[in-house]
Amino acid sequence: MKNKSLVSIDDLSTDEMVSILDLAEKFEKEPIQPILEGKVIATLFFEPSTRTRLSFESAISRLGGKIVGFTDASSSSVTKGETLNDTIRTVNSYCDLIVMRHPIEGSARLASEIADVPIVNAGDGANQHPTQTLLDLYSIRKTQGSLDNLNIFLVGDLKYGRTVHSLLMAMSRWNTIFNFISPEELRMPLEYKLYLDKLGLKYYEHSDFTDIINEADIIYMTRVQKERFSDPMEYEKVKNVYVLRNNMLRNTKEKMRVLHPLPRVNEIHIDVDMNTKSYYFQQALNGVYTRQAILTRLLNLK
Amino acid sequence: MKEPKQLSVSAIESGTVIDHIPASSLFKVIQILGLDKIDNQMTFGTNLESKKLGRKAIIKLAGIFFEDDDINRIALVAPEAKLNIIKGYEVVEKSIVKVPDQIIGIAKCVNPKCITNFESVTTKFKVVSKKNVALKCHYCEKITDQEHMVIL
């Protein structure tokens, strides 16, 4: 490899993950540092993702770096038919690191093989979004004090949810119990269950979580999208089962926290926002610290 | 009365015989090994009777010997192929192809949203299962199984 890029969460060893989380902790204490002064970071968003882009740009700005790039492909030469290869080769010479978001799966891996500068994958289609996973880990560790021996509830669309798959892969490096709560049609794919079997980690599948919610250390909510259902009747039947409401949290563990990758639609009722156990907005802020740590680490600046 | 045994294809003095190729895969094997681009003498037989495969194909290559890595590339289309190394009209070595750990080129990624189906990139897979061949794409990380495998 010509350089160290972050394309997939599996690229990182457990030690490297922990070390990024430790560094992120330092940025949380002192978020404004001139570490990226004189550096140019390209943010190439071949598809719009305002939340992710702002989080990266905030991280770069707080470290004193400059940003070049585009916010969606229609404002770049991609619409003129330029290949990814050519775009990356060109931008490569303008900057010190490339953050890219692209709708095609595997595009970030390809870019990392073309570029001389590090690539940070900010989402390649349904494939990987490793900085999201790291900020999830950061949020879990921060709220629970450790990543070991936790009972993680993954709720909602477990079939197509890239976020939950990556989180599962990452958390499976620690001694984790998983509870999968989803409608029948959106269950966790077999390959992930086989993977946990191989590691000897316990998991349970449920179609409803009201009876077991008090066992959770983390409830990770995701959106159940109507488009995912082949039968609209099925969606109507299940759409309210996967909505978290404040009264459901009454007897949950003191330290339990509710996470969500955002944007939320209706799967977490707004009455949960006032509860101290809701953590998703803090989670989004943690994304800035985590991304500061990732950028700094990939550029070997700390 | 026993019928006389007869070889359908004449013997070679020195080289490689690839036997037990599924008849339907012969031309893919030729393509993967690039046999259409070399000048050596070679004989192809196809739709020959085989108890094991129904119809098989056989390739006889005079003066050609393969490295393991090269010949194993055909394992995707001819997983049961047998190699006979011939020297002085004698079989001096027999072996079976093995599915390699990595496949570069040859197969197409099944995922329509994979970058390899958009840009001109050589496909690259990690072999995650050898029995029922399953390939994990180096780029999009999706699995292509034998049933959905398309040879480029």
**Burial class of residue B138 (count of CB atoms within 10 Å of its CB; 0-12, 13-18, 19+):** buried
CATH number of the domain to which B110 belongs? 2.30.30.20
- pLDDT mean across residues, chain B: 89
Question: Could you tell me if residue B19 is inside a domain?
Answer: yes
Q: Is the pLDDT of residue A2 over 60?
A: no
Nearest to A127 among B116, B141, B143 (CB): B141
pLDDT digit string, tens, across residues A255-301: 999 999 999 988 999 999 999 999 999 999 999 999 999 999 999 99
B89 plus B112 within the same structural domain: no
Average pLDDT value for residue range A213-231? 91
Domain count of the fold of chain B? 2
Residues with pLDDT less than 70, chain B = 1, 4-9
Residue A229 vs residue A3, higher pLDDT: A229
Q: Which domain holds residue B120?
A: 102-151
A199 CA to chain B: closest CA distance, Å? 17
The answer to whether residue B44 is domain-embedded is yes
What is the gyration radius of the CA atoms in chain A, in angstroms?
19
Same domain, B76 and B47: yes
Percentage with pLDDT > 90 across chain B: 65
CA distance A90 to chain B (A): 17
Pair A106, B139: CB distance under 8 Å? yes
Q: Are A141 and A134 in contact (CB under 8 A)?
A: no
pLDDT of residue A300: 93
B84 shares its domain with B124? no
Asked whether residue B5 is assigned to any structural domain, the reply reads: no
* B136/B80 same-domain check: no
| Same domain membership, residue B61 and residue B40 | yes
Do residues B86 and B24 share a domain? yes
The tokens describing A3, both together, are: 């350089």
The interaxial angle of helices A280-298 and A50-62, nearest 10 deg, is 60
For testing contact with chain B, the best of A78, A102, A104 (most B CBs within 10 A): A104
Same domain, B64 and B33: yes
Residue ending a domain, choose from B61, B76, B96: B96
In a domain, B3, yes or no: no
- Specify whether B109 is located in the same domain as B91: no
Q: Which of A53, A101, A257, A264 is catalytic?
A: A101
Same domain, B106 and B92: no
- Rounded to whole angstroms, the Cα distance separating B134 from B147 reads 9
| Distance of alpha carbon A280 from alpha carbon A263, whole angstroms | 10
**Strand pairing category for A97-102 and A176-181:** unpaired
Domains (ranges, CATH) in chain A? 32-128 (3.40.50.1370), 131-284 (3.40.50.1370)
pTM attached to this predicted model: 0.87
Residue B87 sits in the same domain as residue B114: no
